[in-house]
Structure 1
């Protein structure tokens, strides 16, 4: 048994010096730490909740929903645990998840038939040059599209103006790439059963190629020979390489492989990929697929900077385009620079490195739980922090990250990136306010290390549930438990319906953030007391309090 804590002596602040008072805990800091202990959002947003039945208006705290630990630890931890649930539910399924779309209704087919007639009328109007008729048809089609969405139609609707055809590149494989077998893909997502009772799954780790020798902290031993340019381009195009990998895998193994993966930075700053794969794939096939996977970037060459310093392209209001600062000649547009005659070779090719880690995992084991925790370990960390760029980073680490950031600053991230202007090419969607060489995308922020996409990648048939579905399930579980125990929550409100309204700074009815925080702590304390009472009152309730930690207050 631990010894009881000694009683705290009261402090007479009137007898303290100014320096001693400065060492006392701040009230806001105490409230924030208390909120973290209770799992309450430390940055609650003030929202007006309007009861549409009674007309009552309440200003209530709403969690910020951040996924970053340095911004809000309780919300980020809640999001991480939700991802763990999502990973666990889809990894070792024994039955196929139901994912059949609904059959079209008569109302949907009628509206689509009207849309087909309008397409034909629009084509005729364009042929005759009747601009007024075309505008009326466009407005009508827009209204029909809204009705189709309201009736539950998803997917991209055929546009009236298809626009210019995109350039189709050859899909023939490179001569230096290993060939892969191509099998017809079966309509199944679960793996094989071995020994009549074992259905293992797979844990996979993929990395990028090496760019030079690094030390134990991931910093380049020889920065002059380290290939920062290739490292920056590989990081930006890494998501495309992953897409190509899953396409090759499904064609090679012959069934619809499902995965839950996370993208994380290595200490050297390069992204790598961990994936939980449902079912098993032979290690030899996985390594062959990895070695044969590549992504070709069919962009204009961007090896030599054309404009720099004060000599940058300028916007010409007369021609509505960017021009050379000296000759006033318009720059080539993106479509001109990427035409079939302009590009003969890809500007860059991304491949995986030789390191491929594969491990078989059985569902329901302690090892499976450990790997789920490993998959989601760094989801609450910023990319820079996960790569070790924190207060403990060495000077060599910081210099390595600076060099990579400098290369990323001159590496275009998309066809719309303003950095194309310093290479003498006008990007897509260029406007007068576009600043040559300056892009606001995540890929160019030093703390992102070129990793600008999503950190979690989940296939469509993983669990047949979205994150909202998982949240709703946990909420329904708690409500059913309270009903079964006969516990009436002390904080319960009417079922509404409610209308929500955002507040603005300076609104007289909005309390200070500290008051909102205390209100949220009180609500969570009462919620936890009700939940614990329900657990004790029901014999079949789970022994732990994971739902208490995970449920959104």
Structure 2
């Protein structure tokens, strides 16, 4: 006899697929793995290997986001209080890289010869452009011949409303000063700095008291150009400090949805000087004016294959981006589109290596890395949801870059204009609700922070786990032994996702048991004692 389960009870039952995902998350397994086919060139054996998706947001993949956060914490901890100078030695060029540069020299010589003979050079120009892209993809930085288009330069004279900054002689070091205590102990303190943007109106509990008086237009432009302001602050900080300041910084949202900066800085400066640097830091956005709407609604510029965008009534060609900048350069009374500065609120803390404050600051730096900036707005709070919607609407027609389609609204062709552009429909990150105007990197790390790249930090963690578990790294012996290729949907030997997740969970269970045995052996306890302690910890957490 089959027991009939009422429909209401069945609907309340958890889905098996969701249970598998929850278990995978508990064991740190990626829930969106990318299947890849690995072929052993020695034996011809082919197998499906799941590659983690590498997502950094918890809403996409909690396991990968948590792993990325832990990796960033390790990177921050390892570089913050270095006592020896990091040494970065460039890698020697490979034979492939040398071949590409030699081929680039030949193409340039043939192009110059064709130009001297009066022959067309379009084919050579296209081949050179493609080769330059291939050279960069091969692992070489920069352009072989330098900047192909001259950089626009403007006066570097400081604004009259910004205080001047002292400039110290630069020392070739990345380490801060040391201080000797009366007992002879030497300390090398560092700093933890928090910088915010100015006020746009009174707020209470993260929302404007009067939304009509809140300056959403300025808030939107500040968010768009916040990354440039950070670059200026680092330049000024190094200028005043007198040494090559290294930093690890994260950009996070405040409750009012404005981005702000947390920065771990190697070395220390007086708090008064940090405040002076922040007050003197600004960034001017020298873009064409975007305050007067020229085209709106259905009255929009029309695309012409030969001329670009033209006026829908007169057929007059709209000025290109370069022409608009030329007109801005030629105007002696021109003013920047926007000037962004930090707000008066800031915090500077001195931090010592190995202290509780250092650990707390590292956790604070990485606290929100697994969440997007838009997650700061609680969708269940009607006031916060409305505040976020108003900010997104203010960003809708704000140009986010020289190539933004919103420039058509103000009578200017965007850089690299193409057919189909429409104001208010830019696909840039800045216009998406989850970014709220900030399209820059969430983690900013200086080049000499830990003397390692993020990939090298990841490899260190992997090597430690493999050594602890007694596993072999087959790829290390011969990196060319395996070839990899993507798996198409039509291949039938790929197991279902649930099966692959359960296999990964079983593997993690074996790893976790091996790590527990190692921990018990190191602490001189039995495995039963360790299991009892872990069960008690889980019970307290529950």
Following the alignment from structure 2 to structure 1, what is the Cα–Cα distance between the partners of residues 510 and 98? Answer: 51
Query: Does the 8 Å CA contact 1:202/1:276 hold for their aligned counterparts?
Result: yes
Deviations 1:33-92 (A, max 9, x none): 111111111222222121121111112322111111112111111110000000000001
Q: 1:367 aligns with which of 343, 350, 357?
A: 357
1:463 to partner: Cα distance: 0.4
Q: Is 2:392 the partner of 1:405? A: yes
Aligned to 2:83: 94
1:453-482 per-residue CA deviation (whole Å, 9 max, x = no partner) reads 110000000001111101111121123334
Matched, 1:316 2:300: no
Instruction: Tell me, in whole angstroms, the C-alpha distance in 2 between the residues paired with 1:537 and 1:516.
Output: 32
Alignment pair present for 1:428 and 2:418: no
Offset at residue 153 of structure 1 (A): 4.5
Give the structure 2 partner of residue 469 of structure 1.
456
Q: Aligned partners of 2:101, 2:367: CA distance in 1, in Å?
A: 47
Contact 1:13 1:21 in 2 (8 A): no
Partner of 1:201: 190
Partner of 2:218: 230
* 2:46 counterpart residue number: 57
Counterparts of residues 131-280 of structure 1 (less than 5 Å):
131=120, 135=123, 139=127, 153-158=140-145, 163-195=148-180, 196-216=185-205, 218-280=206-268
Paired residues of 1:259 and 1:459 also in contact (CA < 8 A): yes
For 1:44 and 1:116, locate their aligned partners in 2 and report how far apart those are by CA, in whole Å: 43
Secondary structure of 1:129's counterpart equals coil
Answer yes or no: is the 8 Å Cα contact 2:37–2:486 preserved in 1.
yes
Q: Equivalent residue for 1:36?
A: 25
| Other-structure match for 2:537 | none
- Listed as ranges, the gaps of 5+ residues in structure 1 are 1-11, 546-553
Q: 1:533 to 1:238 in 2, by over 3 A?
A: same
2:425 to 438, 444, 447: 438
Secondary structure at the aligned position of 1:296 is classed as strand
Are 1:384 and 2:374 matched, yes or no?
Answer: yes
Shift of 1:529: 2.5
- CA change 1:494–1:31 in 2 (3 A) is farther
Please say which of residues 28-37 and 284-293 is displaced more in the overlay.
Answer: 28-37
SS for the counterpart of 1:439 is coil
Q: Is the 8 A contact 1:336 1:342 kept in 2?
A: no
Whole-angstrom distance in 1 between the partners of 2:25 and 2:59: 12
Q: Could you tell me which residue of structure 2 aligns to residue 298 of structure 1?
A: 286
Summarize deviations over 1:107-157 as a string: whole Å, max 9, x none: 98898688667646644532432226x74587489669967986x643322
Residue in structure 1 matched with residue 324 of structure 2 by the alignment: 337
Please tell me whether residue 517 in structure 1 is matched to residue 501 in structure 2. Answer: yes
Deviates more, 1:89-98 or 1:529-538: 529-538
In the TM superposition, residue 510 of structure 1 has moved relative to its aligned partner by 1.7
Answer yes or no: is the 8 Å Cα contact 1:96–1:188 preserved in 2: yes
Q: For each residue in 1:205-252, what CA deviation from the matched residue of structure 2 results, as whole angstroms up to 9, or x when unmatched?
A: 000111110112x11111121111111001000000100111111111
Distance 1:488 1:535, change over 3 A: farther
For residues 397 and 107 of structure 1, the distance between their equivalents in structure 2, rounded to whole angstroms, comes to 54
Q: What is the alpha-carbon distance in structure 1 between the residues aligned to residue 233 and residue 487 of structure 2? A: 46
> Pairwise CA RMSD of aligned residues?
3.1
* SS of the residue 2:340 aligns to: strand
More displaced stretch, 219-228 vs 136-145 = 136-145
* Aligned partners of 2:378 and 2:384 also within 8 Å: no
In the alignment, the residues of structure 2 paired with residue 315 and residue 117 of structure 1 have an alpha-carbon distance, to the nearest angstrom, of: 39
- Give TM-score, length-normalised by structure 1: 0.86
* Residue 348 (structure 2) pairs with residue 353 (structure 1): no
Answer yes or no: is the 8 Å Cα contact 1:38–1:521 preserved in 2.
yes
Q: How far did residue 165 of structure 1 move?
A: 2.7
C-alpha contact 1:61 1:517 (8 A) present in aligned 2: no
* In 2, Cα distance between equivalents of 1:325 and 1:37: 59
Q: Are 1:504 and 2:513 matched, yes or no?
A: no
Distance 2:449 2:323 in 1: 41
Do residues 307 (structure 1) and 295 (structure 2) align?
yes
Question: Any stretches of 5+ residues in structure 2 without a counterpart?
Answer: 532-542
Change in 2 beyond 3 A, CA 1:305/1:17: same
- CA shift in 2, pair 1:204/1:48, >3 Å: same
TM-score, scaled to structure 2: 0.88
Deviation of 1:293 (Å):
0.5
Residue of structure 2 in register with 1:415 after alignment: 402
Deviation at 1:494, TM superposition (A): 10
My pick for the range that moved more, 429-438 or 106-115, is 106-115
Find the aligned partners of 2:433 and 2:439 in 1 and give their Cα distance.
11
The one of 481, 505, 515 aligned to 1:531: 515
Does structure 2 retain, via aligned residues, the 8 Å contact 1:49–1:498? yes
**Contact 2:111–2:124 (Cα < 8 Å) also in 1:** no
Local SS of the residue matching 2:208: coil
Rounded to whole Å, the distance in 1 between the matches of 2:442 and 2:506 is 34
Paired with 2:455 and 2:223, the residues of 1 have a C-alpha distance of 30
| Equivalent position to 1:284, from 272, 275, 279 | 272
Question: Structure 2: how far apart are the matches of 1:96 and 1:201?
Answer: 15
In 2: Cα distance, 1:507 partner to 1:30 partner: 26
**What is the Cα deviation at residue 25 of structure 1?**
2.1
1:204 aligns to what SS in structure 2?
A: strand
Aligned equivalent of 1:447:
434
Aligned partners of 1:38, 1:231: CA distance in 2, in Å? 41
**C-alpha deviation, 1:539, in angstroms:** 7.3
CA distance in 1, matches of 2:191, 2:311: 54
